[in-house]
Chains A and B, each alone.
Chain A
Amino acid sequence: MGIQDRQPRPAVGRVASAATYRAVRDGEREPSGEAVVVRDLVKRYGERVAVDGLSFAIPHKEIFALLGPNGAGKTTTIEILEGYRKADGGEVRVLGLDPQRDGAELRKRIGVMLQSGGIYPTVTPIEFLDLLSHFYEDSEDPQQLIRLVGLDEVARVRYRQLSGGQQRRLALAAALVGKPELLFLDEPTTGMDPQARRLTWSLISSLRERGITVLLTTHFMEEAERLADRVAIVDNGRLVALASPRELTQAETDEVQLTAPEGLDLVALRALPYVLDAQETQPGQYVIHTKRPADLLAELTAWARDAGVLLQTIRVGHESLEEVFLRLTGHELRE
């Protein structure tokens, strides 16, 4: 949806607070501003702190991923932005609006895919999309959406009888019906087989061309790596890292992996120039972290020659997002 489409909106004859007007006007004056702003967000459930001082901002047209294990606070965060939950502290702005106060205005401009369910079991995909299309002033054609998500063959099959992956794709199509400016996808590919997952990934990537901003949560590393312009790693309700996948995996350290005889002198290895850290991960398998891999390789081979050690394989690589996560949080990203 373009800026032009949005301009007549403030003129609609409903009572809007002065703050809403200001927010909408600001949005027009600065179309390049942030689509989502989260500042020091806190949410508690009784004793448990689900979101603990989270801050990030998402510019328009970005695909942004919240990555973290189950219970990290991803869904809570996304549901506060969608207006389902009230924050206990901090501030959120979504398309310049307050999701609690300006919910009615916001709901016209966002698309929501819940983590699960949300669709009548006895209703067919075409019926459900057709229903939703009546809720928006400007909507996508249900038939075209069905084709877009690859549900043509089951368009008239009841939701209950669809496979898990088909159900998720219908939920995604449903989020797109209202031509949203901002799309919230809570674990969009959970429960999909690899083929459906690839289809969904290319679909989400293609939203970029339509200028839709996307906030997605995931606990799949590959999903974040493939889709997201930027990834926020969240653990225990806190932001651990925020950068593009490339920056995250290249950050400070590169990794040199060696295959060599067992029991090399790790103290000697660590003493070499440019070595940040050296470990024997398995007998004969070594991992060295460095900021200057080229220089390290020269030092390493010189050292091996002098020590009479045969280095059988040497591989220089970046950390995977999985390893970044492990290093930053100290635990595995459980699935």
Chain B
Amino acid sequence: MSQALDTPPQSTPLAAPVVPPEGDLSAYAVRHGLSVSGARPSLPTYVRQLWARRHFITAFATAKLTAQYSQAKLGQVWQVMTPLLNAAVYYFIFGVLLGTKHGVPDYIPFLVTGVFIWTFTQSSIMAGTRAIAGNLGLVRALHFPRAALPISFCIQQLQQLLFSMAALIVILLCFGIPVTASWLLVIPALALQFVFNAGVSMIMARMGASTPDIAQLMPFILRTWMYVSGVMWSIDKLAKKDNLPHVVSVLLETNPAAIYIDLMRFALIDSFHSSQLPPHVWPIAAGWALVVGVGGFIYFWKAEETYGRG
């Protein structure tokens, strides 16, 4: 199968090819049952491959999480310190300087819950945007379903959130919030939020893989999203004002980030009543998770064979 070229060495006495695959090579390959290398697997196969790599996904997430603070003197203490410092900054600005707390009982638990839950969504999306573009070395060296990367980053953020939740529980107890059965609602709320986050991450991972510039844009979009999601103020108070157009208040209330934040407040803080939640809150929360989770997965899979292209 040797061929002539434009800049050959002085002499190229071509050795006879070891193999004589005369005629159409493609037909020859198909006849022997070979498959195209690097082709996109079918959706069920893809799900199966992903499931087979579940141990890699969790191990990669945990490894990233531990590697994060391994050079710091305080080490893993930062897992809890970082979210606490974050909450302190927001309290200083919105609670003390701007006085947003007016009319919100238990403002500090309210704020800290909002900050932690929002941070989970925000960091998942940010990490998802860079999941493929920032790990091209891995994508180009090893073969695995690429969805493992954005999902793994979301699991890392979930683990991070569990550290934050431990800090949150201490804060709640310090402020005299009673432990009630409604705390159990944390589990379904977090599960739904995780599926939603993973869906958005996969959508952003595909977009970030083809247009890395998006990673520069995301902080601005996310900050805007944060301010309309009621992280440091009560949506319910604003949405019930009469001067607000109906469309705007519906949009504010069905915003998935706001839904997950308020569900968590409802679960944890006794002074946050169900009347403050928008109507049909659980179906909306599940709907967002389902639509974005499944939709994001399919959208990501559609471009599976293009990730890592030069």
Q: Are chains A and B native binding partners rather than an unrelated pairing? A: no
Q: Which residues of B contact A (CB under 8 A)?
A: none
Q: Which residues of A contact B (CB under 8 A)?
A: none
